Amino acid sequence: MEKYKVVIPAAGQGKRMKAGKNKQFLLLDQVPLLIHTILVFEEDILCDGIILVINKDEFDDVKQLLLEFGIKKVEKLVVGGKERQQSVYEGLKSIEGDPIVLVHDGARPFIQIDKIHKLVSAFIKNGSATIGTPVKDTIKEVVDGKATKTVDRSRLWAIQTPQAFRHSQIYRAHQTAESNNYFGTDDASIMEYIGESVYIVEGDYENIKITTPEDLLFGEAIIGKRKGEFK
Ligand SMILES: Nc1ccn([C@@H]2O[C@H](COP(=O)(O)OP(=O)(O)OP(=O)(O)O)[C@@H](O)[C@H]2O)c(=O)n1
Ligand SMILES: C[C@](O)(CO)[C@H](O)COP(=O)(O)O
């Protein structure tokens, strides 16, 4: 199967985590969150290089961590932007040629290699792909505290990352979004913005994004389960 490059946006502020620092450096099972994420791609034989998008003032800390954990596949450290979309775009700008590019949140440490490969296969078959899971809760639209609509759950998916694209297509989509001042919350929405379809691959509910304090508890439980500490 064709190899890929992965852009890992990790240049956020972690405001919702309320940890007083970038959540990427918080420890899960004694290892920084960002390192957990990077190690998955470090181990994946299909991963041909990691482009890490980080905050300018965190370069030294990140370089130290990469050395400490023996990370070899990070080929570029790129300065992020104010929004996630801008950070991803900066990462895309640093890639040469036209490889398959995955975009994966630094804050999603529980992605597993089999799901990455499932996503890449879907990309090769369909031309674009992202991973997600069917919504489990009832979703309602709320205006001024009142439920105004219950959305048909049968067609709703909670979209995660990684998301897979051909570099030239996602780069063009970001160029168009930037010139039109369009902001999407994921890269698939930017592809949709330029009229491209994005195919959804069913992933794992464990592929959570570490966003708010309770996600750290869920994360420790996922690690415990994977270490066989409990079923
Ligand atoms: N300007 C930004 C904003 C976010 N991200 C990254 O995009 C991923 C998903 O974003 P999110 O979970 O929202 O992280 P933060 O923006 O840090 O969180 P918050 O919104 O709570 O500040 C994270 O790995 C984050 O570091 C980024 O690279 N650049
Ligand atoms: C890209 C993403 O993880 C897909 O669910 C999500 O949109 C990121 O949102 P955030 O607010 O930037 O964390």
229: confidence class by pLDDT, cuts 50, 70, 90: confident
How far apart (Å, rounded) are the C-alpha atoms in residues 189 and 195?
10
Q: For residue 203, give both structure tokens.
A: 């992933």
Which tens digit of pLDDT belongs to each residue from 139-193?
999 999 999 999 999 999 999 999 999 999 999 999 999 999 999 999 999 999 9
Q: Does the Cβ of 215 fall within 6 Å of ligand 2?
A: no
pLDDT value of residue 141: 97
DSSP helix/strand/coil, 212: coil
| Three-state secondary-structure class, residue 65 | helix
C-alpha 225 to ligand 2 mean position (Å): 25
What pLDDT score was predicted for residue 128? 87
Cβ pair 172, 194 in contact under 8 A: yes
Substitution site in 53, 82, 94, 105 for ligand 1 pocket (most atoms within 8 Å of beta carbon):
105
Residue 185 CB–ligand 2 contact under 6 Å: yes
Q: Could you report the predicted ipTM of this complex, rounded to two decimals?
A: 0.98
44 C-beta closer than 6 A to ligand 2: no
CA distance 49 to 74: 6
pTM above 0.95, yes or no: yes
Under 8 Å between Cβ of 203 and 132: yes
Cα(173)–Cα(185) distance, rounded to whole angstroms? 14
For 20-31, the pLDDT digits (tens) are 999 999 999 999
pLDDT interval class at 231 (50, 70, 90): low
Torsion of CA 23, 67, 78, 82, to 10 degrees: 10
CB of 9 closer than 6 angstroms to any ligand 1 atom: yes
Q: Does the beta carbon of 105 lie inside 6 Å of ligand 2?
A: yes
Evaluate: CB of 37 within 6 angstroms of ligand 1.
no
Place of tokens 């959570």: 208
Write out pLDDT tens, residues 93-147. Answer: 999 999 999 999 999 999 999 999 999 999 999 998 999 999 999 999 999 999 9
Span 42-56, pLDDT tens digits: 999 999 999 999 999
Structure tokens at 61: 């800390």
CB-CB contact of 193 with 184 (8 Å): yes
Residue nearest to atom 4 of ligand 2 (CA): 160
Name which residue sits closest to atom 11 of ligand 2, judged by CA.
Answer: 185
Q: Is the CB of 10 under 6 A from ligand 1?
A: yes
Is residue 230 over pLDDT 90?
no
